[in-house]
Chains A and B, each alone.
Chain A
Amino acid sequence: MGEFRMPSLGADMAAGTLTRWDVKPGDHVNSGDTIGVVETDKANVEIEVFESGIVDRLIVQPGAKVPVGTPLALIRGEAEAPAKAPALVRASPMARRLAREYRLDLATIAGSGPHGVVERADVERVAKQAEVRPGPAAPVPPAAPAPQPPAPQPSEGAGMRRAIAAAMTRSNREIPHYYLETHIDFSNAQRALETINLRRSVKERLLPAALLFKAVATALAEVPELNGYWIDDEPHQSERINVGMAIALRQGGLVIPAIHDADAKSLDEIMEAMRDLITRARSGSMRSSDLVDSTITVTNLGDLGVESVYGIIYPPQLALVGFGKIVERPWAENGMIGIRPILSATLAADHRATDGHRGARFLSALERYILQVQPG
């Protein structure tokens, strides 16, 4: 029997409101199906189930605001009989605290204490095997969700503003940023895109942004020290490269869904992921898996005519890449001056995790990709 729990849809999310169930007890669900909608301070998010089975029981009713980690529903495997009550896990207070900090499910941990009691050592062993660490701002769910006092109705978007304020304040307070900027000759890339797009219908055309995301992912594969998180006074490199795309919303505020495994995706696949994410972000139907695991953030303000952007890292990530407008500039090369489309690329990185040298290597890898991109 699996517990489906309130997911954490961002480092700063402590609780969410379940607004709708799309399933009822007895329904069959497959891994990846969306089964309901959760409203966070940032957006309405369709939540996905991660195991296949049959919905046994809906624990939380629509309208309830519950802390991250609270069981929302029970999903049983096809073979399992309908559940009675969830079994009581015998665990020491210390083990309970640790499991909460590591975000491990006590029910999945074998206890080695008397009568199978789960002890500290059991939790630590599992945590070590799973290589999990206490969450960055681990929200501690209270034993019983406290009833929410009636709050004054905030204006639309105020919650998101607060969430952004909290994340950015934390970033500026905790992360010692260093900034690097470089200017990249975009003429080869522009030609490559033109060649590709010439053969395509308007709907299928590649935008420069797709190429920029691909460039970031490729450069990260070369300089992985910038890809991941700073947790517990230590950098943690991520094996996957999930490039977060900062998307401004029409009503104000922004969301950062991830293009998963961008290094392994083709330009077309990245373009498709971008279109999908932008459409869904603007219609307010993000999924939980879009929002939880970006390993770096890219902010692209070129559309708005800004030449350079010096961003603030989205904690606990290690870096943020900013792209400005591609502008025609006089450009000297091999003793000749020409007029070229020039792109400004900036890197804001966490100085605790890396130094300027590493950052410079990243920007130079990024430049190399853009200079060498092939039309097809």
Chain B
Amino acid sequence: MQSDERVFLMGEDVGRYGGYFAVSKGFIDEFGPERIRDTPLSESAYVGAGIGAALAGMRPIVEITTANFSLLALDQIVDNAASYLYMSGGQFNVPLVIRMGTGGARQMGAQHSHSLEGWYAHIPGLKILTPATLADARGMLATALADPDPVLIFEHGTLYNMEGELAPDAGAVDISSASIRRAGRDVSIITYGATLWKALAAAETLAQDGIEAEVIDLRSLRPLDERTIVESVKRTHRAAIVDEGWKSGSISAEICARIVEAAFYDLDAPIARVCSAEVPMPYAKQLEDAALPQAETIVATVRSLVSHAGG
């Protein structure tokens, strides 16, 4: 915002309240109410306004508190933002960035806890980013703002509480490739967002049994970096996909299909998935924990795939 006058932020309570997750705390004092705009409780209206502003040459960042509420703006996102470039024969780009919270584990109840990024990854014309690290959370926003087309950033709610040092030279990051966060030879654990940390913890536990898991952080769900996934599976011959979405019709289903299409004869075990229970996310902590993928469930699932530890 300091370097580009065209960038402005709008959303519910981003201004005087400082954002529900304090993401924009103090911004209104620095940039003023013209550029940090509180909006009414009407997702369809202000996402539509963002699309209009983008078409008019601005670089709007629209914040939707949680992915659940984005459903109210689904028509704007899918039918307008994602479609204009195609429908105008390439004349109108929509340089819009939409940020939203996603995921559970915060006892927020079903209506605030769902992981819908996999749905949006179905839509051509959108880019779907899912930062898991501090550098990505910071850098992906810069990259998204530089993109001429609509980019949706799904920030997992539990990651807001993680602390870390940001490199002084942190800036825009590549959003077209997945990242191997841990190298391994026995199984590929494919994940993104907050479950990356559970997958890394699971990999540590598995390493004590001699099972070396490779952990892939997808970073972007659309476009999907199929090459990194497939090359990894061709090395390890086994794959487990960890996704906080529901199994049925999910991004994990898509990844399964791609692996089978591209690496069937390299598979030494069925592909496994660790996903959320197919229920609306429970409020009660024990039930919510049980419904979500956990490091222990990842460990158990991977063990069932790898019968030859260390082999």
Question: Which residues of chain A have a CB within 8 Å of any CB of chain B?
Answer: 92-97, 112-114, 119-121
Contacts and interface: CB of A to CB of B under 8 A. Distances in A.
A114 B304 contact: yes
Interface residues on B, range: 10 to 19
B277 to A, nearest CB: 24
Interface in B152-202: none
Contacts of A97: 265-266
10 smallest CB-CB distances across A and B, nearest first, come from A94-B268, A120-B268, A97-B265, A121-B308, A92-B268, A121-B311, A93-B267, A93-B265, A113-B307, A93-B264
B41 interface: no
B269 interface: yes
Interface in B198-242: 237
Interface string B281-311: 0000000000000000000000010011001
Contact of B265 (A94, A113, A114, A119): A94
Nearest to A122: B308
A112 B308 contact: yes
B237 A94 contact: yes
Pick from B266, B268, B269 the residue with the most CB of A within 10 Å: B268
B266 A119 contact: no
A92 B266 CA distance: 9
Given A97-B266, A119-B307, 18 more contacts: A92-B268, A92-B269, A93-B266, A93-B268, A94-B265, A94-B266, A94-B268, A95-B268, A96-B265, A97-B265, A113-B269, A114-B304, A114-B307, A119-B268, A119-B269, A119-B308, A120-B237, A121-B308
Interface in B256-286: 264-269
A183 B268 CA distance: 58
A99 B172 CA distance: 48
Main secondary structure of the interface of B (DSSP, over half): loop
A297 to B, nearest CB: 35
A94 B48 CA distance: 50
A121 B268 CA distance: 9
Contacts of A114: 304, 307
Nearest to B234: A94
Contacts of A95: 268
Contacts of A92: 267-269
A32 B308 CA distance: 40
Nearest to A120: B268
21 contacts: A92-B267, A92-B269, A93-B265, A93-B267, A93-B268, A94-B265, A94-B267, A94-B268, A96-B265, A97-B265, A112-B308, A113-B269, A114-B307, A119-B268, A119-B307, A119-B308, A120-B237, A120-B268, A121-B268, A121-B308, A121-B311
B153 to A, nearest CB: 37
Contacts of A112: 307-308
A323 to B, nearest CB: 47
Contacts of B267: 92-94
Contacts of A120: 237, 268
B220 to A, nearest CB: 28
A241 B125 CA distance: 67
A94 B267 CA distance: 5
Nearest to B265: A97
A96 B307 CA distance: 17
A104 B250 CA distance: 39
Contacts of A94: 237, 265-268
A97 B265 CA distance: 6
A164 to B, nearest CB: 33
A113 B307 CA distance: 6
A143 to B, nearest CB: 12
B94 to A, nearest CB: 43
Contacts of A113: 269, 307
Nearest to A94: B268
A97 B267 CA distance: 10
A113 B308 CA distance: 8
A152 B95 CA distance: 62
Contacts of B266: 93-94, 97
A93 B237 CA distance: 10
Contacts of B269: 92, 113, 119
A93 B233 CA distance: 13
A114 B270 CA distance: 11
A363 to B, nearest CB: 46
Contacts of B307: 112-114, 119
A104 to B, nearest CB: 16
A95 B268 CA distance: 7
Contacts of B304: 114
A322 to B, nearest CB: 43
A363 B237 CA distance: 49
A95 B237 CA distance: 10
B255 to A, nearest CB: 17
A320 to B, nearest CB: 37
B10 to A, nearest CB: 51
A114 B238 CA distance: 14
Contacts of B268: 92-95, 119-121
Nearest to B267: A93
B253 to A, nearest CB: 19
A205 B73 CA distance: 100
Nearest to B308: A121
A98 to B, nearest CB: 9
A112 B308 CA distance: 8
A113 B311 CA distance: 12
B252 to A, nearest CB: 20
A262 B237 CA distance: 45
Nearest to A111: B307
B261 to A, nearest CB: 13
A200 to B, nearest CB: 60
Contacts of A119: 268-269, 307-308
A219 B237 CA distance: 47
